[in-house]
Homo-oligomer: A and B are copies of this chain.
Amino acid sequence: MSGADQRRGVTRADVARLAGVSTAVVSYTLNDGPKPVAAATKARVLEAVRLLGYRPNAAARALSTGQSDLLALVVPTVEQSYFAHLAAAVERAAAAHGLSLIVANAMPDRVAPVVRGLVGRQVRGLIIAAEATADATKEFLAAGTPTVVINQASPIGSLLTLGPDYRAGTMNGVHHLIEAHGHRRIAYLGGDVDGDERVRGWTDALSAAGLALGPALAGGFTPADGRTAMRALLREHPEVTAAFCASDQLAIGALAALAETGGRAPDDLALVSFDGSPEAEFAVPALTTVNVPIDAMAHDAVTRVLDDISAGHVRYEAELIVRRSCGCQ
């Protein structure tokens, strides 16, 4: 017995021997086909499977059928709660198709090797929510595994991309601060300030209202980033009365920084953020936030990766959920 055999333990042949059938009949029984198996034979096979503790080898099955019961999702990191919620939404959508989901984290420079590893592992489809380099993007196309890229602002070459309308969603949020609450100096906090569609939406809303662009303070998307950005804003831009935050988590950190100075939202500074995550509801005050319809996007990503990965871009409306941080109620 080779080392590999020892690791795999009980084989299909062992099951066949105990049940007194051919290995093909074991396969037909476990895979529900392609040929029918008599009920009594099936019972004998399943009893042998149980007695021996036989576990069909998914890697072998994937090799022989070229199919697998697994989808893979790549995100920058589930440590950012937006991606954790997205992973859970994709998992629910996969489960509705009887598929399991595995999740792998990959920051931009790691996307290519992570995708390569998943493709080699015979996943049935790949959903990528990570930001990828141009090289990695070429790999997705070459890989042969059906791939959908989600959380994208705009089309990428001949890939199928899905994503919220970051720009219009942010415009609405900033517009609300201007029209409903009369703010004239509105900052933008967090994220990648250059080329981000949210920044474009913020710019558009201010320009449309004839207002000067407030300060834009770049940073990441975490609470720590939000605290840093808000501390800088309070120190350097006392004229600002409201801020649009690139993520809910960023806004949560911004609220903490505001509290350090004894300030509160919305009285001392009004906030609107982006994501529509469950956490936004539990901030004090509850966050007014632009909602990404992650369940719809996850559902469509799973359906399309299984059936139709024709190139194109699908954009989802991101509606404003109005709560307290903007000044409402």
Query: What is A's interface to B at a CB cutoff of 8 Å?
Result: 2-9, 53, 55-66, 69-70, 72, 77-79, 81, 84-85, 87-88, 91, 100-105, 114, 116-117, 119-122, 142-144, 222-224, 226-227, 252-253, 255-256, 259, 278-279, 281-286
Chain B hits for A53, CB < 8 A: 142
Say how far A323's CB is from chain B's closest CB, in angstroms: 11
Q: Which chain B residue shows the least CB distance to A252?
A: B282
Q: Shortest CB–CB separation between residue A115 and chain B, in angstroms?
A: 10
* Leading 5 A-B pairs by shortest Cβ distance: A58-B120, A4-B66, A7-B66, A223-B282, A79-B88
Q: Residues of B contacting A57 with CB < 8 Å? A: 63, 120, 122
Are B63's CB and A63's CB within 8 A? yes
Question: Which B residues are in CB contact (< 8 Å) with A259?
Answer: 284-285
Chain B residues lying within 8 Å of A103, measured Cβ to Cβ, are 78, 102-104
Interface pair B117/A56, CB less than 8 Å apart: no
Q: Of B61, B142, B256, which contacts A284 at CB under 8 A?
A: B256
Closest to A121 in B: B58
Which of B55, B119, B282 is within 8 Å of A120, CB to CB? B55
Verify A117–B69 contact, CB threshold 8 A. yes
Task: Provide 22 A-B residue pairs closer than 8 Å at the C-beta atoms, listed in order of the A residue.
Answer: A2-B66, A6-B66, A8-B144, A55-B120, A56-B120, A57-B63, A57-B120, A59-B60, A59-B62, A59-B120, A59-B122, A78-B84, A88-B105, A91-B105, A101-B104, A102-B104, A121-B121, A222-B278, A224-B282, A256-B282, A256-B283, A284-B284
Cross-interface CB contact of A143 among B55, B117, B224, B285, cutoff 8 Å: B55
**Bound-complex Cα distance A72 to B105 (A):** 12
Whether B286 and A121, one on each chain, are in contact in the complex, defined by CB atoms closer than 8 angstroms, is no
Complex: A101 Cα to B282 Cα, angstroms: 31
CA–CA, A60 and B282, complex, Å: 48
A253 to B279 alpha-carbon distance, docked (Å): 9
CB-CB under 8 A from A72, the residues of chain B are 102
Query: Contacts of A278 on B, CB cut-off 8 Å?
Result: 222-224
A79 CB contacts on chain B under 8 angstroms? 84-85, 87-88
Q: Considering the chains assembled together, what is the distance between the CA atoms of A150 and B304 in angstroms? A: 36
* Complex: chain B residue closest to A79, CB-CB: B88
| Pair A4/B65 contact, Cβ less than 8 Å | yes
Q: Check if B59 sits within 8 Å of A63, measured CB to CB.
A: yes
Q: Is the CB of A78 within 8 A of B70?
A: no
Q: In the complex, which residue of chain B has the Cβ closest to the Cβ of A102?
A: B102
Nearest residue, chain B, Cβ from A253: B282
Partner of A66, one of B3, B117, B142, B252: B3
Give the CA-CA distance A290 to B84 in the complex, in Å.
Answer: 23
